[in-house]
Structure 1
Amino acid sequence: MNFVSIRIITDRLDELVAFYEQVTGKTAVRYTPDFAELKTATATLAIGSIKTLLFFGGEAIARPAQNSSVILEFRVDDVEKDYARLAAYLEDRIVQKPTAMPWGNTSLLFRDPDGNLVNLFTPATPEAIAKFDNSN
């Protein structure tokens, strides 16, 4: 079994797609007006409007902007460089500027327009670098 994607359900699809395109520097593929994907080398971030819930049994299955326990994480080459690139864009969404974490990563934590936590991180210690180099 392989983990391949995570989907955010939102009632602000266009805003969320534009946000993640800016953060990742990638262009989303819009399959329908209600569904888009941002593909990376290792996983896909899917973004669906609340209308897509009808295919899963109805809008009661998930509620947009209600997450308080999941952090979307993106490994980046240089988190400090990404922070410099995104600081003005993220403005008041930043939760924590780049910080060395005890497990060996340097992490930038912020919120997307729906309030979901997003972590951009770079492995910084030899152990963290080896962990990610061996996982591919």
Structure 2
Amino acid sequence: MNLVSIRLITDDIQRLVGFYEQVTGVEATWATPDFAELVTPKGTLAIGSTRTVALFGEGSARPADNHTAIIEFMVADVDADHQRLRDTVGDFVNEPTTMPWGNRSLLFRDPDGNLINLFTPVTASAIAKFTR
């Protein structure tokens, strides 16, 4: 089994795709006006409009209703990304903070309220974990 992507459902696909393009620096690939993907070397963030929910089963997903998942992106310099995103992100949850497990993390919310973690491994064990 191989995790391929995480998909977000949104009422405003243009806004959310634009936000993630700014955060990641990755240009989205649009399959239809209701579905886009941001492909990174390790995984894909897929974004679908609420119009796609009917394909899976009415009520199977609700936009802006996530309270359990954190979307995580490893970055080269979380402090630099914090500075770069000051005008893009409206809801920072914290400032860059070094976590007990060795990652320096910045948490913020996307326009739909989904929690995002940009992190940089900074301790020897955290760096070793991600250089396997």
Question: Which TM class, normalised by the smaller chain length?
Answer: over 0.9
Cα offsets for 1:46-93 (capped at 9, x unmatched):
0000111111122x1111000001000000011011111111221x31
Separation (CA, whole Å) in 1 of partners of 2:105 and 2:76: 12
* Equivalent residues in 2 for 1:1-20, closer than 5 Å: 1-20=1-20
* Equivalent residues in 2 for 1:71-86, closer than 5 Å: 71-86=70-85
Separation (CA, whole Å) in 2 of partners of 1:105 and 1:57: 38
Q: What is the identity percentage for the equivalent residue pairs of Structure 1 and Structure 2?
A: 61
Partner residue of 2:101?
103
Instruction: Say whether residues 1:32 and 2:26 are aligned partners.
Output: no
CA RMSD, aligned part only?
A: 0.7
5+ unaligned residues in a row in structure 2: which ranges?
none
Aligned equivalent of 1:93, options 70, 80, 91: 91
Separation (CA, whole Å) in 2 of partners of 1:99 and 1:43: 25
Separation (CA, whole Å) in 1 of partners of 2:117 and 2:3: 18
The structure whose residues are more often helix, as a share, is 1
Instruction: Say whether residues 1:123 and 2:125 are aligned partners.
Output: no
5+ unaligned residues in a row in structure 1: which ranges?
none
Structure 1 residue identity aligned to 2:19: F
Cα offsets for 1:112-136 (capped at 9, x unmatched):
00000000000000000000111xx
Structure 2 residue identity aligned to 1:117: L
TM norm structure 2: 0.98
